[in-house]
A and B are shown apart, each in its own frame.
Chain A
Amino acid sequence: MTLPRNLKRNLRRILRGFGAASGTATVPGAGGKALEAWIFMRLAMAARATGHWDVTLRQGDGTVLPGGAVFAFATSQSGIQPASSTGPCYVLLEHRVDPDKRLELHGSLQWEGRSRATHEIDVSAIPANVAEALRLGGGGRPRGLPVVAVECKDKNTTGVPDEMRQTLARMFDLALVARPPRPTPPCRIYEPVTGVTWGQRSESYRVFFSLGTFAVARVGKFSRGASRLGLHYTIQRSGRIYDPACSAIAGLERSFRDTLSNLDHY
């Protein structure tokens, strides 16, 4: 179809301006992670909105990110980085009443599984005591099943069962249904050098996966087969995540708030 000349000229001008304004920072697959950043910030605000959590933006050395500064979102992290003001930023959640309830929200953090394979998770939550031990100890990958793990798929296509199987395989490798190598006691998450641990072990994968917020968030929808698999293993299907007529992002926020209120049981 031939575009009318005036519309084509106008569209070219706007595409040029759009490209100069955004570059590839927001184009899916080009390195930017707009979907991840959006979900990340929505979850952080959902925590603050409960009134039970202090939520602060942090620099890579653990200090508060000053107003007017830039939030450096990681596009890939090989683990928690050593403390440095130039490291990726993150969000710290601190319960207002219980000082032991502290979590960090990270983008693109790599976790290490039981097989020693690494798994990068687009948006994940790690207990602050484990993250701090890693940060102050020169960096490293946490081990265990995150409290929150959201995979973000910015394509408009329909999610198929294989995609959900990948997510399950990742969670299977991370879940500490067997105890970690001694002397680390049974736990949910730990840091291998100092032995700092958090949470409880579960003997059943389905029980483990029901304790936390695990989700695949995608721009498209999910097939019936993918949904069936996700439903059985309590992996939330947040499809059509950008569509304001859908309740996907609200559902994800609700799940996160539930996870935060049930942390004692994890």
Chain B
Amino acid sequence: MELVQLLNEEGFGDLAGELLIEISLGRESDDPFDEELEEDAVGDIEVGFTEPEDVLREPVAEADQLGVALKFIESQLIGPVRHLAEAEAIAGRLARSSTDWESERDAGVTALASDSFSDAMRIVFRPPPDRSSEILRRTEAPGSTRWADALSRALLRLAEDRGRT
């Protein structure tokens, strides 16, 4: 698939491999079980039915592979960036004193991650001291999701184009 090749060529080889495996394993069967709706049912030990240990999968038709790939990229590439950016924005707010924060809250100042990223604090990932791997950090401004948003829009255009053909 061209999208997998593109991911591989642009430095996301591991992710491209995972996507290929995901597609070849098949789509997880649509289990109607939703714990948020069925918590009482889960706790009912009298029901006594058994369910398979492994999740059932069904093959992904070629026509559906692009959709599966787009969802995969959204959850494995775009989602983490957006949530790390939010974490950076929250860290920035936590770095302000409790008193300052409460004054803003009481004044009705509500800051979303995307609004307040000028005050966001950079989060880096430090390896343990006994490993020589690098500290992992983004180069984009803390709290910014510019490239994640651009990628999301590009994927949406792909999906729309696919829908038209």
Contact = CB atoms under 8 A, between A and B. Distances in A.
Do A and B bind? yes
Interface of A: 1-4, 7-8, 10-12, 14-35, 37-38, 40-42, 44-45, 48-49, 51, 54-57, 65, 67-78, 81, 88, 91, 154, 156-158, 160-162, 219, 221-225, 227-228, 231-232, 237, 239, 242, 246-247
A42 B31 CA distance: 30
B76 A28 contact: yes
Contacts of B137: 23, 25, 70
A32 B6 contact: no
Given A57-B95, A222-B35, A239-B35, A33 B65 contact: no
Contacts of A45: 90, 93-94
B-side binding surface: helix, strand, loop or mixed?
A: helix
A23 B139 contact: yes
Nearest to B55: A158
Interface string B44-80: 0000000101110000001001100001100111011
Interface of B: 1-3, 6-7, 9-12, 14-15, 18, 28, 31, 33-36, 39, 42-43, 51, 53-55, 62, 65-66, 71-72, 75-77, 79-81, 83-84, 86-87, 90-91, 93-96, 98, 101-102, 105, 121-131, 133, 135-140, 146-148, 150-151, 154-155, 157-158, 161-162
Given A21-B147, A48-B94, A37 B138 contact: no
Nearest to B29: A158
